[in-house]
Structure 1
Amino acid sequence: MSSQSQFDRDVPRPAPTLPGLPFVPAMLRGTASRFLPGFGLPIALPESFGRLGSLEVRLAAGPQEIKRAQRLRYKVFYEEMSAVPVGLAALKRRDIDAYDAICDHLLVLDHAVKRKPFRAPKPKVVGTYRLLRGDVAEAHSGFYTAGEFDIAPLLDRHRGRNLLELGRSCVLRPYRNKKTVELLWAGIWAYVQRHSIDAMIGCASLEGTDPDRLAVPLSFLHHFARAEPEWSARPRPGRLVRMDRIAAEAIDRKAALLSLPPLVKAYLRVGAKFGEGAAIDRQFGTTDVFVALPVEAISGRYINYFGPTANRYAA
């Protein structure tokens, strides 16, 4: 997840689809929804992408669920990790930026929570991803990733292809297990299928801002997982941090893999590759790398595992 968002102008808030009904994300309008009983009006919820026990993966249904995702991001990025809150994030204790208004928010929810007296049941948000489609980015102020990496040449090379930016991924500590990660990927795969996505791009973070202390994982990604030129991107001018800090022959590959964050390892497993050079994100206290994952490069065993129509965890 990359750090700063630099919008040239404020992004307008999405409007509700129908008067009196909860907000439905713009990219979901016209798709199947289901209705659950609550107090007062029924609550329109996006179609479930899958379930495992008490956990479910689906898109956020409206502003209140997006706020809950932002609170989770704040807890992980600012309270657990070393991000420094500024502006609204500091005031509201939520990880907030202007991109939240134009993105879809993928959630993993735990339904096994105690019901509060006199309130409708509310599942707990335990994992999230932020999804930004290329057509939506183009209609507003571009991709978030462009704040750190010069992706304009890549976008020009793949003009006409449907791109999806992945970002702001995090999972609540007690839920950082195979089940939650698989549900997130099942949700992403379902979203990719639904919107005919050709490739996914974004940033992934290594904790810390000292490249020398991250020499092993950075060098491993540079030598053994570098993207082909057509899918590569470099940091913006003045932000380049060399990744080839150790010679390829001096790297213990097994130790290097163990040093990678779980999210980066997950990207590697499904077939993602990484760009040329890293960028330091001082606000979030991370060193970020560019990630590219063309759908055609996804390992066949993962497509078979989640199902060609993303139906492995269908409810």
Structure 2
Amino acid sequence: MVQSSKATVAPVASDVLGRIGNLETRLARTAREIDAAQAVRYRVFVEEMNAQLPADAMRRQRDIDSWDSICDHLLVLDRSLEGDSEDQIVGTYRLLRQDVAMANGGFYSSSEFDIDALLARHPEKRFMELGRSCVLPEYRTKRTVELLWQGNWAYSLKHGMNAMFGCASFPGIRPEQHALALSFLYHNVIAKDEWAVGALPSLARTMDLMPVEAVNSKKALMALPPLIKGYLRLGAMVGSTAVVDHAFNTTDVLIVLPIASISDRYVNYYGADAGRFAS
């Protein structure tokens, strides 16, 4: 695919999806806001996590790829900060609906995982991909995470989605450094049967690095990245194999979350109509 800096924008009518205190979440309304979100992604993925992006992206100090042009961009903004809305973006998620993806070359996750096989088993369901999740360090709090999920939940309801999926990452490119956490996922929350999915065969790395009796669940949960832990609380499953992403300096797993599997506790918390934090 050709790299592009263009991106779709949400109409102003989409408006705010939720608020907690000074923080609010909504879809990006302008190309300038998407550019600012790409700058936040650069700060997190490159400056903090040492990702290696294409030369043009590094020069522009923006995390940009061709999927940006077809995705909706969910933002968290801190309205107490001075400046325009572009200066207030502290977190972002990239959302891609199946109908849009299929009309534009497919999902980002398909470059690592066998998404086509998963979709083929569910022709009646509508999927959406979650990606490029990041929050600036000083905003990595429960409130920010809750707003991101408020936005995801409201978006999925608005568009009639049946399932979410997306890559989630461990830092570094040595899976054995995460043997406990990966083995915990493998033995406890692997997607099975109709939801089974794995990495592309040429990229697949085993997650079965420790026998089940050697896995201390409490320690494993503590070792999980917060984003993955949050997905599990919602009721997510994980693909059966991992992928090493050398460009982003990460070890990736695939999260699979059928809407029907989301814990009643969280549906009740955010509201069956996504009204919990709605403005």
Tell me which interval the TM-score lies in, with the shorter structure as reference length.
over 0.9
> Are 2:155 and 1:186 aligned?
no
Pairing 1:1-315 to 2, within 5 Å after superposition: 7=1, 13=6, 25=9, 28=10, 33=13, 46-115=14-83, 124-315=88-279
- Any idea what SS the aligned residue of 1:159 has? coil
TM-score calculated relative to the size of structure 2:
0.96
1:108 Cα offset (Å): 0.2
- Name whichever of 66-75 and 155-164 sits farther off: 155-164
- Identify unmatched segments of 5+ residues in structure 1: 1-6, 15-23, 34-45
1:231 Cα offset (Å): 1.3
CA distance in 1, matches of 2:172, 2:100: 32
Higher helix share: 2
User: Please, what is the CA RMSD of the aligned residues?
Assistant: 1.6
Alpha carbons 2:165, 2:254 under 8 Å: kept: yes
Share of identical aligned residues, percent?
Answer: 48
CA distance in 2, matches of 1:310, 1:121: 24
Alpha carbons 1:111, 1:122 under 8 Å: kept: no
Alpha carbons 1:108, 1:183 under 8 Å: kept: yes
- Identify unmatched segments of 5+ residues in structure 2: none
Provide, for residues 229-254 of structure 1, a one-character-per-residue CA deviation record: whole Å limited to 9, x for no partner. Answer: 21121111211100000001111100
Alpha carbons 2:5, 2:68 under 8 Å: kept: no
CA distance in 2, matches of 1:82, 1:63: 26
Provide, for residues 159-194 of structure 1, a one-character-per-residue CA deviation record: whole Å limited to 9, x for no partner. Answer: 131100000000000000000000000000000110
1:122 Cα offset (Å): 5.4
- Any idea what SS the aligned residue of 2:239 has? strand
CA distance in 2, matches of 1:124, 1:231: 38
Which 4+ residue blocks in structure 1 deviate beyond 4 angstroms? 9-14, 120-123
Amino acid at match of 2:125: R
- Any idea what SS the aligned residue of 2:175 has? coil
1:121 Cα offset (Å): 6.5
CA distance in 2, matches of 1:12, 1:50: 27
CA distance in 2, matches of 1:111, 1:228: 43
- Any idea what SS the aligned residue of 1:197 has? coil
